[in-house]
Structure 1
Amino acid sequence: MVKKLVALGVALALLALLEPAVAGVKFTDEDLKSEESLWRLYERWGARYNVTRHPVDKLRRFAFFKDSARHVHLHATAAGQAPGLNGFADLTNDEFNRYYKCNMLEAGARRTLPVRRRGDGSLPLPISIDWRIKSCGTGPCLSPVKSQGVCGSCWAFTATGAMESHYTIQGAKDNRGLVDLSEQELVDCDTHSIGCKGGEVDYAFDYIIAKQGLASLASYPYTATNGTCQAAGKPRVDLLLRVYETVPANDEFQMLQAVTYGPVGVSIAVGPNNLEFRYYDGGIYSGPCGVANDHAILLVGYESNLYVLKNSYGERWGDDGYMYLKRDHGK
């Protein structure tokens, strides 16, 4: 599923991953037995994700919710897993694809550089890495999970997520702390991409290099819409990004080598109408994969048998915004 990889190498971590948790609303066969029990499940789901609907719209969406619950139950049972619902369970599939799917552009030919490790380059890879539990100075190394909302800007969130962490990792000795960079600036101002209609992590990094920084999110807030570039005059975080490295496609060793320095932006192939990816609520992903890259996501760790990925769908998706993917999934 992991296809093309973009990395910036900065620091080394030797950490153990946390065991995958399951964050969705769990339910059983009993919840599907009647309209009343399904309605109670819908109410419990709404309370868990703080979803409120107008009464008329709520009745309409209850029908979509029932279909979601039944599909999730069927798939989870077949996979030997406990069924659970994420925060997108009362949307139609068309709505999810229209509002949350990302559009990826193919960047031009890129210079491929080896990902270098400190020392003589002969150090073995750590057994596991998890940047979520690594500290940089007195704070975390990894910025919080964000939501791209109704905008196909996963590429922008992957770029800022990588830069936010690498900036913090580089400045750990000085306790520089996390920064909150503006995805909206990339959506509005990166002329090689087309905002909510699609982009490429490579192009975002090129933009950051040219500007030598990005506005903070507070001074350039995210609107999840295409807008006119307003970067001029905004306070900027000086990122000192001079070059980035592109890991060869499907080269797992170099990808794992890169993530020892910090989070790595990757492109993955989800595929059209992938309900298992849409409904993913935690645990190890067991659904299908696509054949062409159509989503950008941040690799933040690995274990002997899985990757840990940070998505940009907010905490209502997956394990509070994270995904666990078998390293041999789709092979």
Structure 2
Amino acid sequence: MKTLVLVVAVSAVLAAYYAYNVSEDQMLESGFQTFINTYEKSYGSVEEYNFRFEAYKSNLNKIAEENRKNPQAHFAINQFGDFTDADMKKLLGYRGGKTNQPTKFTPTDVTPADWSHLWKNTVKNQGICGSCWTFSATAVFEARHAIKNGYTTEIKTFYSEQELIDCIKTKDSQGCNGGIATDAYEFLNHHQFCSQELYPYQGIDGTCQLDKCAAGPNDDGRTDLPSGDVNAVLTELTNGPVAVAVDATRWAFYTSGIVTDCDNELNHGVTLTKTDGSNFVQIRNSWGPAWGESGNIRLGINNVCGFADSATVPKF
């Protein structure tokens, strides 16, 4: 009799266990189906579907971990919900690496600054191309060129990231395989910058077409800011946006708030546009307006993600 009772009890426990797990799997797959419909995803085979479903489940765990580590920010499923780490790495094209510089920061010496209005809240999308460095360099060039010419409320001419992708081939800069903003400003010291209209973005490595850009502007070189010196970078921000590099390894699912926990391997070129002077800086990304806070992310002001470790601006 005792054996029968034990068997019944174990069977009940196993039934409850399997029911729970079936329910959990069903909930995960239901969430994945919602993700597919929301972002209009399609997969060419059952194998691809299963592969992306596993990536989706893994990303849910990463999101939970980021929300735990960053209590002032929020992370959630977005357009990158079925991406693997290898997929995300394709978007991280800064090739400068780690700087290992100590952070210098005196909070009382920071003046608030905000240039985010210059683009009228439009954020570009680099696509699946490691061209972030060209978007960072271009955004700062077009903003500072506008400011120099008296346009402090909006940018009048947008310039061509594709020109930089196609025409700059150096040790550190190789188009969609990554690069650095300093190479862009060296190039633009000797070549005209073509407008986006005349040399539109393709998101692939193409053939250099400098003949399109004979009438564009140049810069007069660049100024590199002291590595790790937050005050120097934010002082320069009062003159206009700054091209910076960050560690964006864990940014994929950011949706809002202030990120305070980050790694320190510089791998992504972005644009510093704003600081409140006490708590955060705002970064303009190049993953489109649907990502983050209308295409932007806020970081803790004390050099979170290394935003002050590799900063540069063009001279005019």
Equivalent residue of 1:34, what SS? helix
The answer on whether the counterparts of 1:184 and 1:222 sit within 8 Å (CA) in structure 2 is yes
| 1:327 paired to 2:301 | yes
The residue number in structure 1 matching 2:221 is 243
The residue number in structure 2 matching 1:54 is 43
Residue identity matched to 2:275? Y
CA distance in 1, matches of 2:74, 2:245: 28
The residue number in structure 1 matching 2:113 is 129
Residue identity matched to 1:210? H
CA distance in 2, matches of 1:176, 1:321: 17
Closer, same or farther: CA 69–253 of 1 in aligned 2, 3 Å: same
The residue number in structure 2 matching 1:302 is 275
The answer on whether the counterparts of 1:167 and 1:178 sit within 8 Å (CA) in structure 2 is no
Equivalent residue of 2:81, what SS? coil
Residue identity matched to 2:289? E
| 1:42 paired to 2:20 | no
TM-score normalised by the chain length of structure 2: 0.74
The answer on whether the counterparts of 2:143 and 2:155 sit within 8 Å (CA) in structure 1 is no
Closer, same or farther: CA 170–43 of 1 in aligned 2, 3 Å: farther
Equivalent residue of 2:256, what SS? coil
* Bigger Cα Rg: 2
CA distance in 1, matches of 2:74, 2:236: 34
The residue number in structure 1 matching 2:209 is 230
Which range is displaced more, 55-64 or 183-192? 55-64
The residue number in structure 1 matching 2:5 is none
Higher relative contact order (CA 8 A, sep 6+): 1
How far the C-alpha of 1:160 sits from its partner, in A, is 0.4
Residue identity matched to 1:71? K
Closer, same or farther: CA 94–132 of 1 in aligned 2, 3 Å: same
Q: 1:277-297 CA deviation, whole Å, 9 max, x = no partner? A: 23323221244312x432211
Equivalent residue of 2:282, what SS? strand
How much identity, in percent, do the aligned residues show?
26
CA distance in 1, matches of 2:121, 2:147: 11
TM-score normalised by the chain length of structure 1: 0.71
Equivalent residue of 1:282, what SS? strand
The answer on whether the counterparts of 1:181 and 1:215 sit within 8 Å (CA) in structure 2 is yes
How far the C-alpha of 1:206 sits from its partner, in A, is 1.1
Alignment partner for residue 65 of structure 1, among 56, 72, 97? 56
- Structure showing the higher helix proportion among its residues: 2
Alpha-carbon RMSD: 2.9
Q: How many matched pairs?
A: 267
How far the C-alpha of 1:142 sits from its partner, in A, is 5.9
Q: Summarize the alignment of residues 3-152 of structure 1 with structure 2, pairs less than 5 Å apart.
A: 34-48=24-38, 50-54=39-43, 56=45, 57-77=48-68, 79-80=70-71, 83-97=75-89, 99-105=90-96, 125-126=110-111, 128-133=112-117, 140-141=118-119, 144-152=122-130
Q: Summarize the alignment of residues 192-207 of structure 1 with structure 2, pairs less than 5 Å apart.
A: 192=170, 193-207=173-187
- Gap runs ≥5 in structure 1: 1-32, 107-123, 134-139
